[in-house]
């Protein structure tokens, strides 16, 4: 990237600093906004994959985790710019499933089962002679397991060198495209 001073401009140190600060703010804001949107899209793709791998289809899925278990965020505190997603099952509006033996899953268990373990629930695969965990049910349950650790896939993307380069490039391009009082970026 080249930085030039516009022709026929009297050098003004304060104006140059304002141009540099404007460039830096625009670049940083663009990077965090692009990061948040890109990671959100990737999280959505991870949940689409989670739902697509569900087999056997023994109950109707709500797809709520695909659309509601993560939210984007961007913040600026002083010179610190941050952006990304927050993954939290409490954003979902669905009824929580009932666990074997009774009771509902907690939000933490839903998060852990879906985002970390890749679990799709349980199916009945036969019966046993003793009740399950003191519960009057002699059915034998098998966990329907999907691909685990979608969280780390998202982290690997977010911290990858290519992703960072792409974000930096977008930030520079948007910042260079603005008008400045003294400096000219090309």
Spell out the domain ranges in the chain. 3-104+150-185
159 closest CA partner among 27, 38, 23, 24: 38
With a cut of 70, say whether residue 95 has pLDDT above it.
Answer: no
154: confidence class by pLDDT, cuts 50, 70, 90: very high
Terminal C-alpha separation, the chain? 6
Count Cα neighbours of 117 within 13 Å in the Cβ-side half-sphere.
13
Give the position of tokens 């780390």.
152
More confident: 23 or 109: 23
Q: What is the pLDDT of residue 6?
A: 74
More confident: 150 or 7: 150
Show the beta-strand stretches assigned E in 3-162: 3-5, 70-77, 80-87, 119-127, 139-145
Rg, Å, the chain Cα set: 25
Angle between helices 13-52 and 150-158 (to 10 degrees): 160
140: confidence class by pLDDT, cuts 50, 70, 90: low
Distance of alpha carbon 45 from alpha carbon 42, whole angstroms = 5
This prediction has a pTM of 0.78
Distance of alpha carbon 122 from alpha carbon 115, whole angstroms = 16
136: confidence class by pLDDT, cuts 50, 70, 90: low
Using one digit for the tens of pLDDT, what is the confidence trace for 52-91?
A: 888 777 777 777 777 778 889 999 999 899 999 988 766 6
């Amino acid at each position: 990237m080249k930085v030039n001073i516009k022709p026929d401009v009297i050098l003004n140190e304060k104006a140059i600093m304002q141009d540099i600060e404007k460039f830096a703010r625009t670049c940083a804001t663009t990077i965090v906004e692009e990061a948040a949107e890109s990671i959100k899209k990737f999280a959505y793709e991870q949940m689409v994959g989670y739902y697509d791998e569900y087999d056997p289809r023994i109950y109707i899925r709500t797809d709520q985790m695909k659309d509601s278990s993560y939210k984007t965020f961007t913040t600026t505190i002083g010179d610190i710019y941050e952006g990304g997603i927050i993954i939290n099952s409490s954003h979902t509006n669905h009824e929580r499933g009932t666990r074997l033996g009774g009771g509902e899953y907690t939000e933490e268990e839903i998060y852990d089962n879906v985002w970390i373990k890749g679990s799709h629930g349980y199916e009945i695969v036969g019966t046993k002679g003793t009740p399950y965990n003191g519960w009057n049910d002699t059915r034998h349950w098998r966990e329907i397991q999907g691909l685990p650790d979608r969280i780390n896939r998202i982290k690997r993307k977010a911290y990858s060198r290519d992703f960072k380069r792409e974000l930096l490039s977008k930030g520079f391009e948007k910042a260079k495209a603005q008008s400045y009082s003294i400096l000219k970026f090309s």
